[in-house]
Chains A and B, each alone.
Chain A
Amino acid sequence: MPELIRLTIDGRDVEVEPGTLVIEAARRVGVKIPSFCYYEGLSLAGACRMCLVEVEKMPKLQTACTLVATPGMVVRTETPQVIEARRAMVEFLLTNHPLDCPVCDKGGECELQDMAFRYGAAESRYVETKYHVPEARWSPVVYYDRPRCILCYRCVRVCAEGMGVGALGVINRGGRSEIAPNYGDHLECDECGACIDICPVGALTSGMYRYHTRPWEMNHVGTVCAFCSNGCKTTLGVYHNEIIRGNNRDRSGRNGEFLCIKGRYAADFPHHPDRLRTPLVRRDGELRAASWAEALALVESRLRDALTRGAPIGIIGSNHTTNEENYYLQKLARQGLKTPHLDHQRTGDVAALMAALAGRQGALATMNDLYEARAILVAGADLAQQHPLLSWQIRANWRHHQARVYVVTEGPVREDRYAARSLRVEPGRELEGVLALGEELRKEAELVIVFGDSIQGEAVARLVAFGDSLGIPVKYVCLVDYANSRGASDMGLLPDLGPGYQPVETPGMTLREMLECGDLAVLWVVGANPLAGRSGRPPAFLLVQDLFLTETARVADVVLPAASAYEKEGTVTSVCGEVQRLRRAVSVEGTKTDLEIFGLLARRLGLDAGPRSWEAVLREIAATVPGYDLPVEALIAGAPLQVRPPAGAAMSRRGAIRSARNTLFTSGTLGRYARMLGQVREAPGALYRG
């Protein structure tokens, strides 16, 4: 432990680690030094000059954002000289800034507005002609208004450093300087919108939010992104029951300020015109609108019929539904409907990893481990495309801690740029590639291995054995695709494993077997689209619960309109095994949550699958599911909590595992209904493949 540095800030003593900047040291004692260009985690700029402070024995004011604390330093942050300097900076910034706050998207959450308020540069002494440049649309996502720009370069840095993209630059010079996109008149990038949210003013605005509403007119609901498995927290801005935007400007959640295009701009699917708002029942070969009572009665009768006949019922669960829904569904299936035929679209072999770890504690890497581990190995995945938060974390780790990164993939990936070693392998030979790195990996102090679907089944066991052989602490992340892929698996939506990967007595059919089975009485598909890309349908009575009329729903006998993740409460588990709480942001008339639907059917059938409120189910999960013995009240209060590898876990020996290989701009079926994802024109990944 290096010795701490003691200094004084506004008369208060502070102790900080060597290397700490004065602006950070001040924050420790509650002194908030204003800053525009300074942004924690990005390279230093010292450009805006807002953070000037007085330091004893230094003749000039110093920028707190670049000044490293030294022993005995005496800093004053609110002297008349300092306040005057800040007032002057605000005045400088406002000289060319248009005073269009009343119509600016950022009004109300603009840092320049806040500073003008704090330092009172109210009346303008600038009477010269302002330099005007028309607003530019760089992409469907990003718009740029030069006159509003205060040239803090946060956007340029977050794009280059945080995202590893570098699509923004600075052109011209002096008062004509402006931010410019990589393709001259337009932008081709990840379209993540980080630049927009990091902009302290309204210079960068989003094609989704602009001119829709004002920040204070919205409700802000912090929930978990509905798309990939990385579990980013997104704060949905809701206006009149409509989601206007998503962001994480308060840097809460595991993702800090990170969100990809999906987390920020794909939250409009709940209001898509194609959204199902009423149950559909097939009559005369056509799906026709029906009442909930009508539709549920029909389903009830078909299930009863199957139950009395003892005919097989197949259930395909969802990668998007909550842990509570998944748990309840498997319980309803196994205990109520007495059917073992349960599966979901599996995208990574979590079960094999859990079996190999055999309850070993501390062997599952957390999101934070990816930021702090000294070495990381990525095998068989293009993280920037499929797991953008993981990619962000690893990049930040490399920037801030010089992490050593190893890559074993089929094609080029963004991590190559800074990897200690990149290995190209033929698809399917990822494990061999990893094994070949043994000598190098052994020299590391610790390692996190992130692996995709190409390492599954016995290969996972070999991977863990390899990890054990390195003689260093090794942790793992088994990649899965969707928001609750991990939860579906953990809750036992598997033909041969129950919750917590505990083997069941009589294994049932796999997803594929169900689809191909000739004598299923009922096939119940919850939030999944297994018939996409297949022709024909199983002869069973097909019940589908979903948001849209998917390929599977289209051929169903009954379709029940379900609520999406943004319309419900519950928990989901991220790829790293973090359980986080969803919060309802909007409601869509006519729909019901999957849990409600399960409950209604259970009641109609007279089956008892336990309590039906999400909190009650969560308590039951915590009490019964191995690995999920977490403090429920904390979860309900919103704390993300890490699950543990369950003891007694077994491998699943049945069924296929395959990642959907989504890109940044696709996300299975759901992605099609997010307007922004369909509008961006660049090829995903083109930036680093070029």
Chain B
Amino acid sequence: MLHPEPHPAEVLVLTRRFRLPNSASIETYLATQGYEAFRKALTMAPEDIIEEVKKSNLRGRGGAGFPTGLKWSFVPRQSPKPKYIVANADEGEPGTCKDRLLMQYDPHALLEGMLIAARAVGASAGYIYIRGEYRYLIEILDRAIEEARQHGFLGRNILGSGMDFEIYTHSGAGSYECGEETALLESLEGKRGVPRLRPPFPATSGAFGCPTVLNNVETFCAVPPIILHGGLAFANLGTPKNGGTRLFAISGHVNRPGVYELPMGFNLLRMIHEVAGGVRGGRKLKAVIPGGSSCPVLRAEECDLPMDFDSVARAGSMLGSGGVIVMDETTCMVRAAARILRFYAHESCGFCTPCREGTRWLSQILSRFHRGEGRREDIDLIAEIARNMLGRTFCPLGDAAAMPALSYVQKFREEFEAHLEGKPCPYEEVAVHA
């Protein structure tokens, strides 16, 4: 999965161990400053750890980009209840496959990040909620946990500090919605992956009704370098308010698809043309989804932009989970939209009205369109259904479906029109697949 050599533009912070022999083993980890950040954290006051994370401008890598230090600071200091750390390893957003690499090649970094978080908020146990399909990673993580325990980094009275902490892996069983933080907590508690009403937020009432820090795998993996080298050093790698590097999974029509660690704010076109080796077959770039399938699509001419949360938002899309999906001129945008909406209809938990009914309806119309059975009025109807969902669903999955749907009809209306009145998909013959 890894290219033999990192691309010269890459800045290896989280991925620096990936190409070491036995990178997942604790020996390799310890030989490369592993658990030193945690040792350092043990000497720090909990508030100072949080302060350092705040300084790093680390923003959640799960999709929403919420400042991590701030999130940790919401956990009540004093609590009669135990506190928990939960790592979101559900990685379900289409176009995203970065957490998988982190866990495969550097599982101890995740454990160390969770340990530091535990130290910062006073948690007693951690769960890695990992999608059921990643079974082999559970084996890798369980092994790492065992190693860490044997080396005294987990268990009771860790390194003589008086801190007790355990980490457990916990498998999902096939549900994208379980990546949503409160649905994840429900699943962790043995229930359907239906999100919870907020407030209360997980920081005060999360896993088992106890204060909980929940972060993405990559977010946790960024913590050890932050503690080790200081928040500022990490912040300075990125752009203002967007600290550090980020793992971008570049997929689709590029010559060198893969996961690349690049500084926040790295230019999207450079990412495609330089880092990922350009569009396949020398064809023209048509569109890019910048952060996983739930992000509004960008037309090629909109892609000259820095990849950080704020810049992509200004461009009308989202940095999301960093899954950059590249589409060349042979791509049928109706087909792309139909496939994406089929996914969201399949994954809607069904709890709330607009998402349950809206995703199904959109998916049905788009598939019909792609079959050549579209009606002119359907084009506006798609946009209207999407608008009727936006901001009105119980959790963000509804938005995650509505935003792309709206963007495809807005930005590629002419392609929808080309499918009208029984016309076959104009791309069907030209499409060439690798």
Partners in one complex: yes
A contacts, CB < 8 Å to B: 44-50, 52, 59-61, 66, 85, 88-89, 91-93, 95-96, 125-126, 128-129, 131, 150-151, 170, 172-177
Q: Could you pull out 18 A-B pairs where Cβ atoms are within 8 angstroms? A: A44-B197, A46-B394, A47-B352, A48-B353, A49-B394, A59-B391, A60-B392, A88-B354, A89-B354, A92-B353, A92-B388, A95-B357, A151-B351, A151-B353, A173-B348, A174-B345, A174-B348, A175-B359
Counted as pairs of residues, one from A and one from B, with CB atoms less than 8 Å apart, the total is 92
Closest CB in chain B relative to A494 CB, distance in Å: 54
Q: Which of B147-189 contact A (CB under 8 A)?
A: 175, 177
- In the assembled complex, the Cα of A88 lies from the Cα of B381 at a distance in Å of 12
- In the assembled complex, the Cα of A153 lies from the Cα of B175 at a distance in Å of 21
- Chain A residues with CB under 8 A of B347: 174
Q: Given A85-B392, A88-B388 in contact, is the A175-B353 Cβ separation under 8 Å?
A: no
- In the assembled complex, the Cα of A47 lies from the Cα of B394 at a distance in Å of 7
A47 touches B345 (CB 8 A): no
Q: Is B368 an interface residue (CB 8 A)?
A: yes
Closest CB in chain A relative to B190 CB, distance in Å: 13
Q: Is B33 an interface residue (CB 8 A)?
A: no
Closest A residue by C-beta to B358: A92
- Chain B residues with CB under 8 A of A151: 350-351, 353, 356
- In the assembled complex, the Cα of A128 lies from the Cα of B393 at a distance in Å of 22
B contacts, CB < 8 Å to A: 175, 177, 192-193, 197, 345-354, 356-361, 364-365, 368, 381, 388, 391-394
A175 touches B356 (CB 8 A): yes
- In the assembled complex, the Cα of A151 lies from the Cα of B350 at a distance in Å of 8
- Chain A residues with CB under 8 A of B351: 47, 151, 177
Closest A residue by C-beta to B196: A46
Closest CB in chain B relative to A182 CB, distance in Å: 16
- In the assembled complex, the Cα of A150 lies from the Cα of B197 at a distance in Å of 19
Closest CB in chain B relative to A51 CB, distance in Å: 11
A170 touches B393 (CB 8 A): no
- In the assembled complex, the Cα of A61 lies from the Cα of B354 at a distance in Å of 13
- In the assembled complex, the Cα of A650 lies from the Cα of B26 at a distance in Å of 85
Select which of B192, B197, B365 is within 8 A of A128 by beta carbon: B365
- Chain A residues with CB under 8 A of B364: 128-129
A49 touches B192 (CB 8 A): no
A173 touches B361 (CB 8 A): no
A49 touches B354 (CB 8 A): yes
Closest CB in chain B relative to A37 CB, distance in Å: 9
Closest A residue by C-beta to B373: A127
Closest A residue by C-beta to B361: A95
* Centre residue among B349, B356, B360 by max chain A CB count within 10 A: B356
Q: Given A92-B358, A95-B357, A128-B365 in contact, is the A175-B350 Cβ separation under 8 Å?
A: yes
A61 touches B392 (CB 8 A): yes
Closest CB in chain A relative to B240 CB, distance in Å: 24
Select which of B345, B346, B357 is within 8 A of A92 by beta carbon: B357
B391 touches A60 (CB 8 A): yes
- Chain A residues with CB under 8 A of B358: 92
Closest CB in chain A relative to B375 CB, distance in Å: 8
- In the assembled complex, the Cα of A408 lies from the Cα of B158 at a distance in Å of 48
A52 touches B392 (CB 8 A): yes
Closest B residue by C-beta to A150: B353
Other CB < 8 Å A-B pairs besides A175-B350, A176-B350, 18 of them? A47-B353, A49-B393, A49-B394, A66-B197, A85-B388, A85-B392, A91-B388, A92-B358, A92-B361, A92-B388, A95-B360, A96-B360, A128-B361, A150-B353, A172-B350, A174-B347, A174-B348, A175-B360
Closest A residue by C-beta to B348: A174
